Amino acid sequence: MFKFAAVFAGSYIWHALGVTIGYHRLLSHRAFSCSKPVEYFWTIPAYLSFEGAPIWWATIHRAHHRNVDTPLDPHSPRNGLLNSWWGWVLDRHYPEHINPEIQAKDLIKDPIYQFLEQDGDWWKAHSLAATINILFRVAIFVRFGWIPATASMLAGLAVMQVPVMLNVFCHMSKLGYRNFKTPDDSVNIWWVALLAMGEGWHNNHHALPGSAQSGIKDTEIDISWMIIKAMHKMGLVTRVNVPSEADLAKMEEEEADQGLVWQTA
Interval 174-199: pLDDT, tens: 999 998 888 899 999 999 999 999 99
What is the average pLDDT value for the chain, to the nearest integer? 91
Whether 261 shows a pLDDT value over 50: the answer reads: no
> Average of pLDDT values for 10-21?
97
Interval 109-143: pLDDT, tens: 999 999 999 999 999 999 999 999 999 999 999 99
Q: How far apart are CA 140 and CA 25, in angstroms?
A: 29
pLDDT tier for residue 262 given thresholds of 50, 70 and 90: very low
> Average of pLDDT values for 236-252?
81
Q: How many domains does the chain have?
A: 1
Whether 258 shows a pLDDT value over 70: the answer reads: no
> Average of pLDDT values for 197-206?
95
pLDDT of residue 223: 97
pLDDT of residue 73: 87
pLDDT of residue 245: 75
Q: Which domain holds residue 94?
A: 2-264
User: Which distant-in-sequence residues (6+ apart) come within 8 Å of 56 by Cβ?
Assistant: 100, 117, 122, 125
Whether 228 shows a pLDDT value over 80: the answer reads: yes
pTM for this prediction: 0.91
200 secondary structure, DSSP code: T
User: Which distant-in-sequence residues (6+ apart) come within 8 Å of 42 by Cβ?
Assistant: 17, 18, 21, 22, 26
pLDDT of residue 255: 56
Q: What angle do CA 45, 33, 67 make, to 5 degrees?
A: 80
CA-wise closest residue to 229 among 214, 251, 209: 214
Whether 148 shows a pLDDT value over 70: the answer reads: yes
Is residue 197 left, alpha or beta, with left meaning phi > 0 and alpha meaning psi from -120 to 50?
left
pLDDT of residue 254: 61
Whether 82 shows a pLDDT value over 80: the answer reads: no
Tell me whether residue 2 is exposed, middle or buried, using C-beta atoms within 10 angstroms of its C-beta: 0 to 12, 13 to 18, 19 or more. exposed
Secondary structure of residue 265 in the 3-state scheme: coil
DSSP letters for 36-66: HHHHHHHHHHHHTTT---HHHHHHHHHHHHH
